[in-house]
Amino acid sequence: MDLFEYQGKQYFARFGIPVSPGGVADTVDEAVEQAGRAGYPVVVKAQVQVGGRGKAGGVKLANDADEVRLHAGNILGLDIKGHVVKRLWVEHASDIAAEYYASFTLDRSAKLHLGLLSAEGGVEIEQVAATNPGAIARIHVNPLDGLTPERARAWVDSAGLDPKARDGAADILVKLYRCYVEGDADLVEINPLILTPEGRVHALDAKVTLDDNAAFRHPEWDEFRGFEELDPRDAMARARGLQYVGLDGTVGIIANGAGLAMSTVDVVSQVGGEPANFLDIGGGANADVMAAALEVINHDEKVRSILINIFGGITRGEEVANGIVQALGRVELESPIVIRLDGTNAEQGREILAPHLSDRLLTRPTMLDAARTAVELAGGN
Ligand code: GDP
Ligand code: MN
* 47-97 confidence digits (pLDDT tens): 999 989 999 999 999 999 999 999 999 999 999 988 899 999 999 999 999
Q: How large is the average pLDDT for residues 274-296? A: 85
Instruction: Answer whether residue 121 shows pLDDT above 90.
Output: yes
Strand ranges for the chain from DSSP E: 22-25, 42-46, 59-62, 79-80, 83-84, 88-92, 98-107, 112-118, 136-141, 185-195, 201-203, 207-210, 243-246, 251-255, 277-280, 305-312, 337-343, 361-363
Q: What is the pLDDT of residues 13-41, one digit of tens each?
A: 999 999 999 999 999 999 999 999 999 99
Which residues form ligand 1's pocket by a CB distance below 6 Å?
A: 43, 45, 51-54, 59, 93-94, 96, 99, 122, 191-192, 204-205
Closest CA to 300 of 361, 235, 232: 232
Q: What is the pLDDT of residues 310-341, one digit of tens each?
A: 998 888 899 889 989 988 888 888 899 999 99
pLDDT, residue 147, reads 98
User: Side-chain half-sphere of 6: how many Cα atoms within 13 Å?
Assistant: 21
Distance separating alpha carbons of residues 146 and 178, to the nearest angstrom:
9
Which residue is closest in CA terms to ligand 1's atom 11?
Answer: 54
Beta strand pairing status for 337-343 and 361-363?
A: parallel
∠218-259-255 over CA atoms, to 5°?
95
Closest CA to 167 of 177, 156, 178, 158: 156
- Ligand 1 centre to CA of 151 (Å) is 28
Q: What is the pLDDT of residues 241-262, one digit of tens each?
A: 788 888 999 999 999 988 999 9
Give the model's confidence band at 124: pLDDT under 50 very low, under 70 low, under 90 confident, else very high: confident
Which residues face 203 on adjacent strands?
A: 19, 193
Give the model's confidence band at 111: pLDDT under 50 very low, under 70 low, under 90 confident, else very high: very high
Q: Is the pTM of this model over 0.85?
A: no
In ligand 1, the atom with minimum distance to the C-alpha of 122 is 14
- Ligand 1 centre to CA of 87 (Å) is 17
Q: How large is the average pLDDT for residues 104-122? A: 96
Which residue is closest in CA terms to ligand 1's atom 10?
Answer: 54
Active-site positions read 101, 189
Which residue is closest in CA terms to ligand 1's atom 7?
Answer: 205
How many whole angstroms from its chain centre is CA 300? Answer: 19
Instruction: Answer whether residue 381 shows pLDDT above 80.
Output: no
User: Side-chain half-sphere of 77: how many Cα atoms within 13 Å?
Assistant: 6
The number of the ligand nearest the C-alpha atom of 189 reads 2
Instruction: Answer whether residue 232 shows pLDDT above 80.
Output: no
Q: How large is the average pLDDT for residues 278-284? A: 82
Which residue is closest in CA terms to ligand 1's atom 15?
Answer: 122
Give me the phi and psi of 37, to 5 degrees please.
-70, -40
In ligand 1, the atom with minimum distance to the C-alpha of 96 is 26
pLDDT, residue 233, reads 79
The percent of residues in the chain predicted with pLDDT above 70, rounded, is 98
Instruction: Answer whether residue 231 shows pLDDT above 80.
Output: no
Amino acid at 116: L
Q: How large is the average pLDDT for residues 166-195? A: 98
In ligand 1, the atom with minimum distance to the C-alpha of 50 is 3
pLDDT, residue 237, reads 83
Give the model's confidence band at 288: pLDDT under 50 very low, under 70 low, under 90 confident, else very high: confident
Which residue is closest in CA terms to ligand 1's atom 3?
Answer: 53
pLDDT, residue 330, reads 87
Instruction: Answer whether residue 228 shows pLDDT above 70.
Output: no
- Ligand 2 centre to CA of 122 (Å) is 6
In ligand 1, the atom with minimum distance to the C-alpha of 5 is 7
End-to-end CA, the chain? 36
The number of the ligand nearest the C-alpha atom of 190 reads 2
Give the model's confidence band at 285: pLDDT under 50 very low, under 70 low, under 90 confident, else very high: low
Quickly list DSSP for 205-268. --EEEE-GGGGGG-GGGHHHHTT----HHHHHHHHTT-EEEE-SSSEEEEESSHHHHHHHHHHH
Give me the phi and psi of 97, to 5 degrees please.
-95, -35
The number of the ligand nearest the C-alpha atom of 91 reads 1
